[in-house]
């Protein structure tokens, strides 16, 4: 499991008038209709961000994170994974995600991300768009770098680059990646051994993919959470790196 349902990004709350947020229902090319939340700022539009949740889909953490990106000048769309099996809706603490996440497919995520990217590019087909994801969404984010969306970059927090339930793990798709990669990992995350992270880093380098993989010693899986005050410095550094990555590649 990734974040608890009560989790929040470890960032100062966004002031009420600085962004606009609304619920959306997007439609993928295969006809799937799924829930999303869009957050936009009031300044001149810059690059866009697609937010990919953990295994429980769209809940408050990701809505607030979308607003955080919008407050920084990056219009954002956070998506849900389960339109095909659970219908259009947000996912509360009682949502039985495990039975649904097992039915999420590689092609389904690619189609849904394509719809979110297209939405962000409605007014500007050349707009630069990034993905950012957490845990299950972290590896999904890196996958999108090789899925033909024309992304400007793909960011993953504690994604597993060698996830065994992937048809082809991310680590084996580095030669298909078309954009830079940022990875932010916990050093005390038994589900993602240091050896796997090192192999991913080396594979990206061998493939010539611009990348930065950062491991925070002692930090657990899901350290980027307001409840984990002891990892405040790691969280602040991770957010700084995310914003620098977006700025550099926008």
pLDDT digit string (tens) for 12-49?
777 666 899 999 999 999 999 999 999 999 887 799 99
Nearest to 189 by CA among 236, 134, 232, 146: 134
- State how far the Cα of 233 lies from the Cα of 10, in Å rounded to an integer: 10
- State how far the Cα of 24 lies from the Cα of 62, in Å rounded to an integer: 14
Q: What is the pLDDT of residues 40-61, one digit of tens each?
A: 998 877 999 999 999 999 999 9
What value does the mean pLDDT take over residues 54-79? Answer: 95
Domain with CATH 3.40.50.1820 in the chain: 19-116, 128-250
Please spell the DSSP secondary structure of 108-138, one letter per residue.
HHHHHHHHHHHHHTSS-TT--EEEEEETHHH
Per DSSP, what are the bridge partners of residue 154?
131, 181
* Cα–Cα distances in angstroms (integers) from residue 202 to residues 70, 138, 168, in the given order: 33, 18, 18
Report pTM. Answer: 0.96
| 230: exposed, middle or buried (Cβ count in 10 Å: 0-12, 13-18, 19+) | exposed
| Confidence label for 236 from pLDDT (cuts 50, 70 and 90) | very high
Q: What is the pLDDT of residues 137-164, one digit of tens each?
A: 999 999 999 999 999 999 999 999 999 8
Can you say whether the dihedral through the CA atoms of 98, 184, 216, 242 is positive or negative?
Answer: negative
Query: Per the structure block, which two tokens stand in for 153?
Result: 């970059």
Q: Helix or strand or coil: residue 190? A: coil
> Are 175 and 207 contacting, i.e. CB atoms less than 8 angstroms apart?
yes
What value does the mean pLDDT take over residues 218-236? Answer: 94
CATH class of 128-250: alpha beta
Q: What is the pLDDT of residues 180-192, one digit of tens each?
A: 999 999 999 999 9
Query: Per the structure block, which two tokens stand in for 119?
Result: 């939405």
What value does the mean pLDDT take over residues 128-135? Answer: 98
| CB proximity list for 1: less than 8 A, separation 6 or greater | 54, 55, 56
Report the CATH number of the 19-116 domain. 3.40.50.1820
Q: Helix or strand or coil: residue 52? A: strand
| Confidence label for 93 from pLDDT (cuts 50, 70 and 90) | confident
Nearest to 207 by CA among 172, 241, 232, 242: 172
């Amino acid at each position: 499991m990734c974040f608890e349902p009560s989790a929040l990004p470890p960032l100062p709350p966004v002031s009420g008038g600085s962004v606009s947020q609304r619920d959306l229902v997007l439609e993928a090319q295969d006809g799937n209709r799924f829930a999303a939340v869009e957050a936009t700022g009031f300044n001149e539009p810059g690059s866009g961000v697609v937010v990919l949740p953990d295994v429980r889909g769209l809940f408050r953490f990701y809505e607030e994170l979308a607003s955080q990106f919008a407050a920084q000048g990056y219009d954002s769309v956070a998506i849900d994974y389960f339109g095909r099996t659970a219908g259009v809706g947000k996912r509360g603490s009682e949502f039985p995600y495990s039975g649904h996440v097992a039915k999420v497919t590689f092609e389904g995520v690619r189609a849904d991300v394509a719809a979110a990217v297209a939405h962000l590019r409605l007014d500007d087909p050349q707009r630069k768009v990034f993905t950012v994801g957490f845990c299950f969404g972290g590896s999904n984010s890196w996958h999108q770098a090789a899925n033909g969306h024309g992304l400007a970059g793909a960011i993953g927090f504690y994604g597993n680059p060698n996830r065994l339930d992937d048809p082809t793990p991310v680590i084996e798709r580095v030669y298909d990646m078309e954009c830079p990669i940022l990875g932010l990992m916990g050093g005390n995350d038994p589900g993602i051994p240091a050896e796997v992270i090192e192999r991913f880093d080396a594979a990206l380098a061998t493939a010539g993919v611009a990348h930065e993989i950062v491991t925070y010693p002692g930090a657990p899986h899901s350290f980027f959470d307001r409840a984990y005050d002891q990892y405040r410095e790691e969280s602040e550094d991770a957010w700084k790196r995310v914003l620098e990555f977006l700025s550099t590649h926008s």
